[in-house]
Amino acid sequence: MLKGWFITVEGGEGAGKTTIVDKIEHFLKDEGLDVVRTREPGGIKIAEKIREVILDVTHTEMDERTEALLYAAARRQHLVEKVLPALEAGKVVICDRFIDSSLAYQGYAREIGVDEVLSINEFAVEGHLPELTLFFKVDPEVGLERISRDKNREVNRLDKEKLDFHKKVKEGYDKVNEMYRSRIAIIDAEQTVEHVYQQVIDVIREHDKFKTLKEMG
Ligand SMILES: Nc1ncnc2c1ncn2[C@@H]1O[C@H](COP(=O)(O)OP(=O)(O)OP(=O)(O)O)[C@@H](O)[C@H]1O
Ligand SMILES: [Mg+2]
């Protein structure tokens, strides 16, 4: 067991992940913990390059298995280069998206199969799963409506998918949440930012790892 605490954040587009991760980062730092905040795909040089290939709007010919492999490759490099060293040093790592995104998007919504995508990801992560995953549950219509109001946001290849695709992502996440009940906390993300944040803080405070890290001070 690594000394640090690996937390991931999941949910569809516009669920409020980035907004709340900002706040979680502040909260944990105020609690005196050493925090590394990162995101997938990306977070380090090689993975950011893979991200550009995946999300490029001109890459309309991208095969879905190629896409799944690229995500897994970016995940692997990011894990060994950034996440694991931080966990070994006893830090809290908060990662915006991880393995569950691949299962929901590539496995379920793109119809490769959740088990097939899980198998390439098991190869990539070698058993290093998060100890806590915060899933931001929001109706896809609400998420997409939030994003459409945000003019500064970069538009990527996935944003161009139709509403039906995002509905399938939501169904995919429902399956994933059933597979990993013990590590995934479901957050009602249709509430105001303040209410969403409060739910998240309650989950964090109640988590054994948080208590352990606080005791070690
Ligand atoms: N609870 C909320 N209520 C209303 N608006 C919100 C809420 N949370 C976030 N927003 C707004 O919705 C937009 C999307 O939020 P945010 O970027 O945090 O979502 P995200 O889950 O990170 O999306 P993406 O998947 O695109 O990264 C932003 O403009 C943000 O200010
Ligand atoms: Mg975001």
Which ligand sits nearest to residue 136's alpha carbon? 1
- Which tokens is 68 given? 């799944």
Candidate from 10, 13, 18, 166 with most ligand 1 atoms within 8 A of CB, to mutate: 18
Task: Tell me the pLDDT tens digit for each residue of 70-82.
Answer: 999 999 999 999 9
Task: Tell me the pLDDT tens digit for each residue of 133-191.
Answer: 999 999 999 999 999 887 777 667 666 678 899 999 999 999 999 999 999 999 999 99
Candidate from 97, 146, 148 with most ligand 1 atoms within 8 A of CB, to mutate: 146
Indicate which residue's Cα is closest to atom 8 of ligand 1: 16
Output Rg (C-alpha) for the chain, integer angstroms: 17
Distance 195 CA to ligand 2 centre (A): 18
The per-residue b/e assignment along 133-166, b for 16 or more CB within 10 angstroms, e otherwise, is bbbbbbebeebbebeeeeeeeeeeebbebeeeeb
Indicate which atom in ligand 1 lies nearest the CA of residue 159. 26
Residues with CB under 6 A from ligand 1: 11, 13-19, 146-147, 150, 192-193, 196
Total of domains in the chain: 1
Structure-derived torsion over alpha carbons of residues 166, 187, 195, 154, reported in degrees to the nearest 10: -30
Q: How much is the pLDDT for 159?
A: 65
Highest mean pLDDT among 41-50, 187-196, 208-217: 187-196
H helices of 79-162, where? 84-88, 99-102, 114-125, 140-149
Report the CATH number at residue 181. 3.40.50.300
Q: How much is the pLDDT for 2?
A: 77
Q: What's the rounded mean pLDDT across residues 11-19?
A: 96
Q: State the residue range of the domain holding 74.
A: 5-216
Kind and range of the H or E element at 110? none
The separation between CA 2 and the C-alpha centre of its own chain, rounded to angstroms, equals 20
pLDDT at 130 over 80: yes
